[in-house]
Amino acid sequence: MQTKTYNAFEMAQEQFDRIAEMMQLNEGTIQLLRNPMREYHFSIPVRMDDGHYKVFRGFRVQHNDARGPGKGGIRFHPLETIDTVRALAMWMTWKTAVVDIPLGGSKGGVICDPHNLSERELESISRGWVRQISQNVGPLSDIPAPDVMTNPQIMLWMLDEFETLNRGKYPGFITGKPVGMGGSLGRTEATGYGVIFTIREALREMSINIKDTTASVQGFGNVAQFAIQLYNQLGGNVTAVACWNQKDQKAYTYRKTDGIDLKELSGITDRFGGIDKDKAHELGYEVLDGNQWIKENVDILIPAALENQITEDTVKLISKKVKIIAEGANGPTTPAADEIIKAQNIYLIPDLLANSGGVTCSYFEQVQSNLNYYWDKDEVLAKLDTKMTAAYRSISNLAHRKDIKMRDAAFITAVTRVAQACQERGWI
């Protein structure tokens, strides 16, 4: 679903360049914020189950830490690239600033395919990643978290390795840990719920009852499933979901016009969010082309899979009925598609805001781990709702005040906060 010519980092820089020009930033600030402050490339040798050794490539990029320790996930993906990691680290800098939490932006990755690895091999890669980077990350400098195809078990292996190397207990080193081992209640729901909190606020501004809306979702992993769960609880109706099918190596859209059954689909889904298409068909779902999700005649589109999904070509497939696009994924919309969306007057809630619930709850977990005091689930989700709602209203107010789109308002808010921190520290 990605094109060979797509480069996430070039897209992130293009977004920043546009905002820098709008803000008339000075050259020193542009040079500092346009590129990562630090990045690490390393090899992770692993003895595979059949006895031979394989070397995996790992990365960690620290874009900016002027506002606090770096924060960002670790992705295990066969198509991982350093430019994707650079882009995600930059977006994380802006995201933490948008929701105004005292953290910077980082990202990590390993080029591997967890679908084809045993549990022991995954553990070896996870521990090897920490061994290679342990001197450059930590609870006071850079805090990793789960991302694409990583999970609480992988985070716990990484924590255990870091604590073994540093001869102590450092639960605040990493977030997304299992509950009971330093993880926070509400963390699994956080990103998906955050997307819906922003949609709820947008619908209120539009004077639209959420119970009168329908949605189509791309992705069926953690973010998508919890977004669907809360959206359904609030009265909305998801009629289609699209996700990757590992067996066929292609994506499909699963549609039921009267609404999908989340529990039913979850029961035929693998650990990576892939739906068994044959079983879905038996349950009465239409099994359609992977791009069908974006063509659906719905009120809301939620891209919650990978970057580069709404492009100059696919944006033309969007129904005229669509009122809102809420970016559950990082960088799903290209700048060229953004301009078309603006022209069509579709209200876009940008990724910097829409999916920042994950990093916000990661921050809550870090705080709890460092204090060794844990909150109940209702308290976590209430704090998340408060933080996300405040961030949404702040960005929305700026957008209305300056008569600009939400993405521009989010970027201006974030870049202003980060640039100010850099200046006050005397870096520029």
pLDDT for 357 equals 96
- Helix, strand or coil for residue 401? helix
Beta strands, E only, 272-323:
286-289, 300-303
Q: How far, CA to CA in Å, does 237 sit from each of 211, 252, 289, 354?
A: 8, 19, 21, 19
pLDDT > 90? residue 307: no
Q: How far, CA to CA in Å, does 403 sit from each of 390, 398, 399, 408, 411?
A: 19, 8, 5, 10, 14
User: pLDDT by residue (tens digit) across 273-292?
Assistant: 789 999 999 999 999 999 99
Q: What residue spans of 234-334 are helical by DSSP H?
A: 262-266, 277-282, 292-295
307: closest CA among 86, 94, 146, 142? Answer: 86
User: pLDDT by residue (tens digit) across 385-398?
Assistant: 999 999 999 999 99
d(CA 358, CA 227): 12
pLDDT > 80? residue 306: yes
Handedness of CA 319, 323, 328, 329 (dihedral sign): positive
Complete DSSP assignment for 329-341: SSS-B-HHHHHHH
Q: How far is CA 210 from the centre of its chain?
A: 24
User: pLDDT by residue (tens digit) across 247-274?
Assistant: 888 999 999 999 999 999 999 998 777 8
Q: What is the DSSP letter of 123?
A: H
Q: How far, CA to CA in Å, does 228 sit from each of 79, 219, 260?
A: 27, 11, 9
d(CA 222, CA 13): 28
Longest dimension (CA), the chain: 63
Handedness of CA 359, 199, 232, 341 (dihedral sign): negative
Q: What is the DSSP letter of 147?
A: -
d(CA 216, CA 383): 28
- Helix, strand or coil for residue 31? helix
Q: How far, CA to CA in Å, does 201 sit from each of 204, 210, 326, 339, 392?
A: 5, 10, 12, 23, 7
More confident residue, 270 or 60: 60
- Tell the residue number behind the tokens 């808010």, with chain if given: 413
- Six-digit token pair at 267? 């029961």
pLDDT for 54 equals 98
d(CA 122, CA 355): 27
Residues 6 or more apart from 180 whose CB is under 8 A from it?
Answer: none
Domains of the chain: 39-183 (3.40.50.10860), 188-354 (3.40.50.720)
pLDDT > 80? residue 2: no
Residues 6 or more apart from 136 whose CB is under 8 A from it?
Answer: 38, 40, 60, 62, 142
Q: Are 233 and 257 in contact (CB under 8 A)?
A: no
Catalytic residues: 107
Q: Taking residues 303-307, what's their average pLDDT?
A: 90
User: pLDDT by residue (tens digit) across 81-119?
Assistant: 999 999 999 999 999 999 999 999 999 999 999 999 999
pLDDT for 247 equals 81
Least confident of 23-37, 38-52, 114-128, 246-260: 246-260
66: closest CA among 428, 417, 422? Answer: 422
User: pLDDT by residue (tens digit) across 349-390?
Assistant: 999 999 999 999 999 999 999 999 999 999 999 999 999 999
Tell me the angle at which helices 377-402 and 406-424 cross, rounded to the nearest 10 degrees: 100
- Six-digit token pair at 65? 């830490």
Calculate the average pLDDT of the chain. Answer: 95
d(CA 110, CA 91): 19
Least confident of 4-8, 31-35, 51-55, 253-257: 4-8
